[in-house]
Amino acid sequence: MAGYVLAIDQGTTSTRAIVFDGEMRIAGAGQKEFTQIYPQSGWVEHDPEEIWGSVVSTIKMAIREAKISAKDIAAIGITNQRETVVVWERESGKPIHNAIVWQDRRTASYCDKLKKQDLEKTFTKKTGLLLDPYFSGTKLSWMLANVKGARARAAKGELCFGTIDTFLIWRLTGGKSFVTDATNASRTLMYNIAENEWDKDLLEILRVPSAMLPEVKDCAADFGVTEPDIFGAAIPILGVAGDQHAATIGQACFEPGMMKSTYGTGCFAVLNTGADMVRSKNRLLTTIAYRLDGETTYALEGSIFIAGAAVQWLRDGLGIIDSASKTGELADAADPSQEVYLVPAFTGLGAPHWDANARGAIFGLTRNSGPKEFARAALEAVCYQSRDLLDAMHKDWKGGVDETVLRVDGGMVASDWTMQRLADILDAPVDRPVILETTALGAAWLAGSRAGVWPDKAAFAKNWKRNNRFEPAMDEKTRAAKLKGWRSAVKRTLSEG
């Protein structure tokens, strides 16, 4: 069997498809952006049909660039934006509403209502998550309540719920496979991560019929086979993981204490805690890192909603840069005497604050503040938020995390300036890998190892290679002063601050 593996990386703003060869090198790729829909302030939606179209077209691009045919592909691995909700008709496969995106905040008042009923402890104990609009469950509940006839149809088994992975597998297999994996399920507010099953009590609270939920599998499993007429051959789907879990795998963070952080639209830091399901006392998330061969590995996760999206805002919202890649150069040329802080709470603040009602703010502006200072503030905001997550992780888990080196990936890590500033603010080494497509690589490894054409976990971990290590170079006095300014800015931004 050919050693080619196809990874589908369905992200928040674009879809990528990458063909890897038997040596885990990129042989071909395709990428396509899709529409971001904002029906109201704080609401974010995607058109599932547009996402599906982008997946099919990018896969064809990648296969064409790799100069192979579909029959040369041994397996497909899927990784996806998590928590984004799709509901579709079981009979026709047609979505009943736009997908509600993980960034969407429309269920903030519903989450507050559940908190006032003292239900957050129940959700946290069972799922490891907090009651926040970020997660899938309240989005699904909103859709059932607000799309005409949806709840009754769901109760009759006429509707299917899925995160993006489930929807894509359904479409790729012609409706034959209605499945998800443990990592995506663990982000729904409906999945008991200790028992590894959908939780009846939580479904009852959210008024979600169990008939509309997919079967949950390991991350490397038989998820179905693509319809031959889509790509010209039937290809088995053998790996699935939510994007941050796939990145953790792609970074070979298989041992407890290993940590990765992905800097894309948002920023997500994941600390492997092994078989130990650590209960956070600092408002981090306890989540399933991955599940292989029936064995669950857990993690602590900190989620930052706005990272690269702040740079997009500078480009598309303010128009002060014409290319995201120039942000590091601008930041480097900023006036060192100015301390401008951007708290990018455009869609609320994630960990460790979890303030859905906070909104973005800029502090420290002077008459001389300009694009350079704004660029530096946007990049530094990512570094400061990462430090907040790292501090919380240190408090929660004492398993040697103080010595952890951070492995990084995502679009922002191409900037040397940003990675050096990250090491400076964290006061910890930052390792950038040779292969930056770690999310796609993780999904590909799940599928390729399952197909028997890629190495096992131990051999895969040995193949991980570092491109560069950034060591902290900032003096402690400067670091402390900058962090003090950041914490003051955040305090003034919180909705109850």
Mean pLDDT confidence for 174-179? 96
Mean pLDDT confidence for 95-116? 94
Measure Cα distances from 92 to 87, 97, 376 in Å.
12, 14, 49
* pLDDT tens sequence across 258-298: 889 988 878 889 999 999 899 888 889 999 999 999 999 99
Q: Residue 16: pLDDT above 90?
A: yes
Mean pLDDT confidence for 233-258? 94
pLDDT of residue 497: 54
pLDDT of residue 137: 95
pLDDT of residue 399: 67
Supply the mean pLDDT for the chain: 91
Report strand pairing: 191-192 vs 159-162. unpaired
pLDDT bin (cut points 50, 70, 90) of residue 250 is very high
Q: Which of 307, 304, 314 is nearest to 374 (CA)?
A: 314
Beta bridge partners of 31: 16
Q: Residue 113: pLDDT above 90?
A: yes
Cβ burial of 47 (10 Å; 0-12, 13-18, 19+) is middle
pLDDT of residue 2: 61
Phi-psi label, residue 130: left if phi above 0, alpha if psi -120 to 50, beta otherwise: beta
Residue with tokens 């905001």: 381
Amino acid at 302: G
**Phi, psi for residue 438 in degrees, rounded to 5:** -70, -30
pLDDT of residue 419: 93
pLDDT bin (cut points 50, 70, 90) of residue 347 is confident
pLDDT of residue 441: 94
Which three-class secondary structure state does DSSP give residue 156? coil
* pLDDT tens sequence across 390-423: 888 888 887 654 566 789 988 888 889 999 999 9
pLDDT of residue 324: 76
Q: Residue 430: pLDDT above 70?
A: yes
pLDDT of residue 332: 85
Q: Which of 320, 392, 357, 302 is nearest to 111 (CA)?
A: 357
pLDDT of residue 394: 84
From 86-95, 197-206, 461-470, the region with the lowest mean pLDDT: 461-470
Provide the greatest CA pair distance for the chain.
65
Q: What percent of the chain has pLDDT over 90?
A: 71
Distance in angstroms (rounded) separating the CA atoms of residues 12 and 32: 11
pLDDT of residue 217: 97
Mean pLDDT confidence for 344-361? 84
pLDDT of residue 403: 64
Amino acid at 167: F
**Phi, psi for residue 157 in degrees, rounded to 5:** 85, 15
pLDDT of residue 281: 87
355 vs 422, residue with greater confidence: 422
| Three-point CA angle 4, 258, 456, nearest 5° | 30
Cβ-based neighbours of 204, under 8 Å, separated by 6 or more: none
Q: Residue 204: pLDDT above 60?
A: yes
Mean pLDDT confidence for 95-110? 94
